[in-house]
Chain A
């Protein structure tokens, strides 16, 4: 007997005031093309909005893009809010302009992966697919 696999649901979004959405849209398209269910939040989302949407949409992962330098505060805030809502099982990952030192810090507090400019889409798709197992 085979069990039909449900597609992975992933929320892709921009948090904070940053408007650079070239990368995030390419990631959203790549995940969608790879057969995943992508919920794209649009721009200028607050951490509260992101966490609420993630819970409401019952996603397995949240991918956030930040090129404004505000990553340290905003990633932490999203992680906190997810935890407050008992949704710490949702994987948080992201990408953007994030210096090595900050990457280490963010990974230590629970950000699962960070992808910087130059990353191949296939790598990001592979990462999200790997979350199922």
Chain B
């Protein structure tokens, strides 16, 4: 019988054969390539019991409007059984600008919560026990400043830093590559990241000081192989920088975490998670010889693919998200965000985000999928794909090594161009109907019925501006200026910046003021435009 297509290829363009057999696993040895769960090379999972011990953390990314608006959403999510918090900041905050900056006009509170000061951060976590939940903060350029605010909130409440658990995204390389929200040039940015890593190693031991992220790389249009390669290579770049700064690998590597996208190609995605753990463990062992096995573990968070969702027939997105979430769980993720069906239209409404959370709960409690570890381990197809993904990533590693590392590669526009080309290939495949997207190029409907969406009012911006004006009037200007001067001094030498950042936020310096002071020392970044 003739097949549906002349050739089958994965979403990332890997050739897919009709049947996989032992022939495809020649040279593959279960003892060295698979191992047991919780043992090197961790292909089958990081822990011996995986979800039999406990489920993945259900962590929905949330943030919009003012600190009070988002605080209410957090409370709502926790009441409905969410097990960790994840903060989305608005564009001005991501760029290190205060809500009253002229460049922030029209953007305050729109795609995340507006946080300009320690007072905003206190209101964001009002009534939430910081020592009993874990908090993830998606912030990169000004990550250290927001983290200083979080620590200062804990200090005021008398919570020891050692009791704080959570994650700071703090990954600037993927910003240059894909997400494009930066403040400084690569060198000082990486130094700031190493400062946070080093500070957490001694002061905040349960915190993940960085979440090395492939999510945005994938959303920008990369293939699964590129996502895997660039993310892990970014991670190794940070490890190298920390080791060069004098840290011992076992003092910080157990606190590292990663963050992946989980896209439409079900088996390729499962293989990606398995390949990621194996490749990371192998490279960490080969390059840094850690004594603590915890230093080899690739702990990760996953989020379903926002770019796979469609504005047309938005209810279909629930189904897409469910399949993607299933791949993340079969891939062995530690934590998961499921997208809401309305995210191609606006920030998610309460009802939509609840349904997304319920999707995870149904999978966890009703499907019995989590009852055995790595159920697909040993499948000819999944193991062959896992090998292919690891090989594909290693090819990129070699090219990046030859270029002299990731920073040089970024300056030359290499990862940016690879991603753009992949995204254009995909777009062409969709337009030529080589790939079918339900509701887009097949099974279309004239107009789908609208679904209710969340709206952000202009009052958020006005209120933030008023709050900042009050703050600037009420603080001690000499204390504030002194704290900023000390910060600049620390930035000019090699002192760890965290203590002076904490002092600066406590002296009521705003996010924008602190970032402006640092830019005076560090300079700014202009991207090489790749088209």
Contacts and interface: CB of A to CB of B under 8 A. Distances in A.
Interface in B205-240: 219-221
B529 A26 contact: no
A110 to B, nearest CB: 17
Nearest to A21: B180
Interface in A29-68: 29, 32, 40, 42-44, 46, 67-68
A70 B107 CA distance: 5
Q: Interface majority SS on A: helix, strand, loop or mixed?
A: loop
Given A17-B92, A40-B531, A73-B106, A22 B311 contact: no
B125 interface: no
B501 interface: no
B322 interface: no
A7 interface: no
Interface in A95-133: 97, 99-100, 116-118, 120-122
Contact of B344 (A32, A40, A42, A116): A116
A16 B91 contact: yes
B317 to A, nearest CB: 11
Given A19-B181, A25-B531, A118 B346 contact: no
B110 A22 contact: no
B346 A117 contact: no
B339 to A, nearest CB: 13
Given A19-B179, A22-B221, A70-B91, A99 B111 contact: no
Given A19-B181, A68-B110, A118-B440, A42 B527 contact: yes
Interface residues of B, number: 44
A120 B431 contact: yes
Interface in B432-450: 437, 439-441, 450
Given A18-B91, A19-B180, A118 B310 contact: yes
A68 B529 CA distance: 21
B473 interface: no
Q: Interface majority SS on B: helix, strand, loop or mixed?
A: loop
B346 A99 contact: yes
Interface string B237-276: 0000000000000000000000000000000000000000
A35 B344 CA distance: 30
B97 interface: yes
A57 B107 CA distance: 27
Given A17-B107, A22-B307, A116-B311, A28 B531 contact: yes
Interface in B288-311: 307, 309-311
A118 B110 contact: no
Interface string B100-115: 0001111100110000
B159 interface: no
B517 interface: no
Given A17-B92, A42-B529, A118-B312, A69 B180 contact: no
Nearest to B430: A120
A29 B529 CA distance: 13
A117 B311 contact: yes
A44 B183 CA distance: 12
B106 A16 contact: yes
Contact of B94 (A17, A43, A46): A17
B347 A69 contact: yes
A121 B107 CA distance: 28
A46 B307 CA distance: 26
Contacts of B95: 17, 44
A45 to B, nearest CB: 11
Contacts of A28: 531
B420 to A, nearest CB: 6
B220 A68 contact: no
A69 B424 contact: no
B423 interface: yes
A40 B111 contact: no
A46 B179 CA distance: 18
B117 to A, nearest CB: 19
> Which of B97, B310, B344 neighbours the largest number of chain A CB atoms within 10 Å of its CB?
B344
B14 interface: no
A43 B180 contact: yes
Contact of A17 (B104, B307, B456, B527): B104
B344 A69 contact: no
A118 B344 CA distance: 10
B310 to A, nearest CB: 5
A72 interface: yes
A74 interface: yes
Contact of B111 (A21, A46, A68): A68
A117 B313 CA distance: 12
> Which of B107, B309, B347 neighbours the largest number of chain A CB atoms within 10 Å of its CB?
B107
Contacts of B180: 19-21, 43-44
Given A17-B95, A19-B179, A99-B453, A29 B219 contact: no
Contacts of B424: 26, 29
29 contacts: A17-B97, A17-B104, A17-B181, A18-B91, A19-B179, A19-B180, A20-B180, A21-B220, A22-B423, A26-B427, A28-B531, A29-B420, A29-B531, A32-B531, A43-B527, A67-B111, A68-B91, A68-B111, A69-B111, A69-B346, A69-B347, A70-B91, A70-B107, A74-B106, A77-B106, A97-B344, A97-B346, A117-B311, A122-B431
Interface of A: 16-22, 25-26, 28-29, 32, 40, 42-44, 46, 67-70, 72-74, 77, 97, 99-100, 116-118, 120-122
Given A19-B181, A40-B529, 16 more contacts: A16-B91, A17-B97, A18-B111, A22-B221, A25-B531, A26-B424, A26-B427, A44-B95, A68-B91, A68-B107, A68-B111, A69-B110, A70-B107, A97-B344, A99-B346, A99-B453
Interface of B: 91-92, 94-95, 97, 103-107, 110-111, 175, 179-181, 219-221, 307, 309-312, 344-347, 420, 423-424, 427, 431, 437, 439-441, 450, 453, 456, 527, 529-531
Q: Which 6 A-B pairs rank lowest in CB-CB distance, beginning with the nearest? A: A73-B106, A19-B180, A69-B110, A17-B91, A70-B107, A70-B106
